[in-house]
Amino acid sequence: MQIIDGKAVSASVRERIKNEVEALKNMGKETGLAVIIVGNDPASKVYVNNKKKGCEQVGINSYEYALPEETTTQELLQLINRLNSDTKVDGILCQLPLPAHIDEKTVINSIAPEKDVDAFHPVNTGHIMIGDYSFLPCTPAGIIEMLKFYGIEISGKECVVIGRSNIVGKPMAMLLLQNNGTVTVCHSKTENLAEVTRRADILVAAVGKANFVTPDMVKDGAVVIDVGMNRNAQGKLCGDADFENVKDKCSYITPVPGGVGPMTITMLLNNTLTASKNNTKQ
């Protein structure tokens, strides 16, 4: 069993991003990411801080817009509109979740598709569907990057994704499919779940339930990619897979923390670099 080290993969990708950002700068093109946060959600603050640090590390200018909890949808849309036409800004990211009174869908749809580095805009999700894209959602893109880094073959393999969210499950299935995997998507209504997951050569768990994937759900020698970020009864950070009991059945497994997590922000930086490169072509 080998543990997939997300930190090592992330460091290698960030090194490449840093060199490319530097090369653009030498050509006179700075790269900029605008990050918007509304309200005081502590988890969101941590994420935004990590994104800022990531930008610093690779030489991307980060512009932070921290707005009060009572910001209206209209005020937020005005800011996004301004950033859409700001040439210093290559990427715009609006940290989710937004306060309940703000219309999330309208906000996501107002970000210019060519600056939508989260790849949540319907235009970008459509491009992913047909396999002709500039940006990929950060978590699924990071997972593909990790599999490639470890030389794990996707082509022809049985791939099972547990979870069908728009942020992870659905795009993950699309990317595995584009890499010639045979893909099954499971969810809360799937019958005989363990029977389906036991077929998987590559099992991606994106459920959001601590220790949901148990040994009886995993085929011997499978690759288990754990997207979960949960707290167990003791308050300790853990994934969707029961790591201690599942690991010995796997050929590869991602730990939590230190697996998929580090890749998510790295792929956001990668999308911002792509946006910047696209802007130099215009």
Active-site residues, by number, are 51, 95, 118
**Pairwise CA distance, residues 212 & 3, whole Å:** 19
- Residues making up the chain, counted from first to last: 282
Question: Which amino acid appears at position 115 of this protein?
Answer: K
Cα 17 to Cα 162: distance, rounded to the nearest angstrom = 31
Cβ density class 234-251: b for 16+ within 10 Å, e for less = eeeebbbbbbeebbebbe
- Which residues, other chains included, contact 176 with Cβ-Cβ below 8 Å and sequence gap of 6+? 144, 154, 159, 161, 183, 202, 204
Angle value at C-alpha 108, between 50 and 84, nearest 5 degrees = 85
